[in-house]
Chains A and B, each alone.
Chain A
Amino acid sequence: MKHRRGKPLARSAAAGLAAASLALAAACSSGDDGEGADTYTWWDPYPQHEADSDWADRVDACGDEAGVTIERTASDTTDLTNRALLAAQEGTSPDIILLDNPAVSTLAETEMLTTVDELGLDVSGVDQNLLAAGVVDDTAYGIPIGANTLAIYYNAEVLDAAGVDPASIGDWDSLTSALEQVTDNGDQGITFAAIGTEEGSFQFLPWFWGAGADLRELDSPEAVEALELWTGWLEDGYAPNSVLTNSQNTTWEEFLTGEYGFAVNGTWQVNSAAEADFETGVVQIPARGGGPAPAPTGGEFIIAPVQSDTERYDVTRQIVECMTTPEGFVETATTFAYYIPPTADGQEALLEEQPELEPWVEAVREAKGRTSDNLGTDYPLISEQLWTAVQNALSGSATPSEALEQAQADAESALE
């Protein structure tokens, strides 16, 4: 009897112990923030820069200056936005995030970000066209740490062979006739990214805005003209059919083969272009009637999510300031493959070091934020319809005007 009773008891004790330890483990993992008072968390979208890179050193240095340790985690852009949202929901936001500019207004709308005023930052020196991407209802939620934009790279050897002078490209017609000359000479014309993601819209916008179209009215005659320019290039064989699945990286790979006369790409390829096997150059993307078209700004904002412990803000401000001084901007610009500083001081300082970046500084000054014009969180919805229209038109499943009419109707219903 004793034995029989003893065994189940021992067994239930063991089982109880197991259950208790399980509960304990669960409690431990949920209670553990991993944040000490002098450890500040930092997320950025640069997984290509590893822990021993110049960029990581630079982040660490800003932490040292503020007297704290920075714990840096890198993941790619789309993933970063989703993770930031999840972390905000769980109440485990990092102290600082570097985030792609169109996503800033999305996060700001959730009230998970501190404003620059709350943090006590001075943004008066930042170029308005760049700051605008992080402004929602007249409140700024972050500072651009650098800006990049699009322009047209050309292969000087291909152009020479075809007898095209890059300086002659000033509007759409001169560009198209340059493409004709290049393809007639047996080379490929132009390559760009029209993939069905944000990158596709990003690359289409300079032409869209350059025609005078407005994102609130996707089916305007100007918008149709911009899309017809692209479909025309595909039909005439000036651009390859693969642009439909090209990301900007793939586009660049195509250009580096040396077979293409032109490629639309961004500031971040300056280094790579200098190392190409052929001579390259840059021209601004032309507007339809001439002059440079406004290209969309790319680049990350430095933002500070709301913390339950508001005493952390003081150090956070110091870290942000370290990143956004004129020297800080220039250092970021050179650490990274050429980020243009967002302030006039920073731009001057950069040009002193690297005068050859002049065309890019000008392009950034002309550039326009995707979420500006008070589009804010409407932009992602409109952009999705825009790239869908581009895909439909280029693949031939709809004419440009049909595709854009559909896009406008869908955008309107999505915005309701």
Chain B
Amino acid sequence: MTTTSVGATGRASDSGAAGHRPAAPPPDRHRRRGVPGSARQWTALGFAAPLLAYLLLFYAYPLWRNLDLSLHDYTVRAFVQGDPDFAGFANYAEVFASDSFGTALLNTALFTIVSILFQYAIGLALAVFFHSNFRLSGVLRALFLVPWLLPLIVSASTWSWMLNSEHGIINSVIQAFGGDQINWLTSPGTALVAVIIANIWLGIPFNLVILYAGLQQIPGELYEAAAIDGAGARARFWRITFPLLRPVSAITLLLGFIYTLKVVDVVWIMTTGGPGDASLTLAVWSYREAFGTGQPDFSPAAAIGNLLIVIALVFGFIHLRMQRSWEKS
């Protein structure tokens, strides 16, 4: 269902993949028609086996392993020896009780929501801008994709260089206009803002591409009709573009949400979640517990990771639900 509704309004290839699961084909009818022999079933199973093996190996096993890690007390020693004590939900309790939890949750919410709001708004504005084809629009649009093509280590390092307190180009511009030096990455008040700015920049191309593709699907006649009825540019946007883009927007926001929720690299390279916990998000916290210190703590890290999966899942269901209600109306 999801596949068809998205396909009708946008060419979002990512959403197609996401929509596979609910759109299971009804196999019963086919089976009744054919020879009801066991050979046929074995054939089916044989052909499905590679896919099943793939799913088990790369989806089921890591998930199970993550649960296993989070429910046991894996010290470094237990990890190597393979004899961890069962801890039940103690790791989760430890995560919830930690001083960092509140900060990380709030930062995650701010980081995710502010990032996708700006990414979406700027992406949509650019998509509408490029939709009215003008000379060089193709070239310019391609240039906007650069953040997507750069390796993250390059863009994150460049941002942290630009935001450097003493030598950064942003501060030198501010100071040239008579402002004061802002310790972007090193002051607890601005570190989160700094990483959000970098992350917004990184996410704009994704929004631009998907929303631009969505715009192509809106029939031109609608705009012509609206123009004849005397609708201005503003009315055309709010009455035609925005409502007809709604399914594409929803999937863009959902994907953006899931991507942003699990961002580690940008934050880690720029601030390592610091100073202190000032720019710590749940994903960065998980990484820090597992790999950021000399003493890997895989169990709490896995617990935080599972928490993120649950949050992403909840929003996935909300999306499905919204989509179903739109289809009904």
Contacts and interface: CB of A to CB of B under 8 A. Distances in A.
Interface of A: 4-5, 8-9, 11-12, 14-16, 18-19, 22, 26, 78, 81-82, 85, 88-89, 102-103, 106-107, 109-112, 195-198, 240-242, 244-245, 254, 377, 379-381, 383-384, 388, 391-392, 394-398, 410
Interface string B125-145: 000000000000000000000
Given A15-B42, A18-B49, A245 B76 contact: no
Nearest to A389: B276
Contact of B37 (A8, A109, A384): A8
A244 B164 CA distance: 10
Nearest to B294: A380
Which 4 pairs of residues, A with B, have the shortest CB-CB distance? A15-B46, A380-B294, A395-B275, A380-B295
A196 B50 contact: no
A9 to B, nearest CB: 6
Given A244-B274, A392-B276, A110 B39 contact: no
Interface stretch (B25-33, B183-191, B234-242): B183-191
Nearest to B50: A22
A384 B293 contact: yes
Given A18-B46, A380-B293, 19 more contacts: A11-B43, A15-B46, A19-B49, A19-B50, A26-B53, A85-B296, A102-B294, A111-B81, A241-B187, A242-B185, A245-B274, A379-B294, A384-B293, A391-B274, A395-B274, A395-B278, A397-B188, A397-B276, A410-B99
Given A4-B35, A396-B187, A15 B49 contact: yes
A197 B99 CA distance: 19
A360 B272 CA distance: 32
B101 to A, nearest CB: 14
B61 to A, nearest CB: 12
Contact of B76 (A85, A242, A392, A394): A85
Given A8-B40, A12-B43, A16-B46, A82 B276 contact: no
B165 interface: yes
Given A81-B294, A397-B276, A18 B81 contact: no
Contacts of B50: 18-19, 22
Which of A9, A12, A103, A397 neighbours the largest number of chain B CB atoms within 10 Å of its CB?
A: A12
A346 B23 CA distance: 71
Contact of B291 (A5, A9, A78): A78
Contacts of B181: 241
B82 interface: yes
Contacts of A14: 46
Nearest to B185: A245
Nearest to A93: B80
B79 interface: yes
Interface residues of B, number: 44
B76 A110 contact: yes
A11 B183 CA distance: 67
A109 B291 contact: no
Contacts of B160: 245
B265 interface: no
A5 B275 CA distance: 71
Which of A89, A244, A381, A396 neighbours the largest number of chain B CB atoms within 10 Å of its CB?
A: A244
Which of A8, A78, A81, A398 neighbours the largest number of chain B CB atoms within 10 Å of its CB?
A: A8
B317 interface: no
A159 to B, nearest CB: 20
A109 B294 CA distance: 13
Nearest to B183: A241
Interface in B148-164: 160, 164
Contacts of B76: 85, 106-107, 109-110, 377
Contacts of B278: 395, 397
Contacts of A410: 99
B328 interface: no
Interface in B277-302: 278, 291-296
Contacts of A16: 42, 46
Contacts of B177: none
A391 B291 contact: no
A141 to B, nearest CB: 14
A416 to B, nearest CB: 11
Given A242-B166, A392-B276, A110 B43 contact: no
Contact of B186 (A85, A110, A242, A388): A242
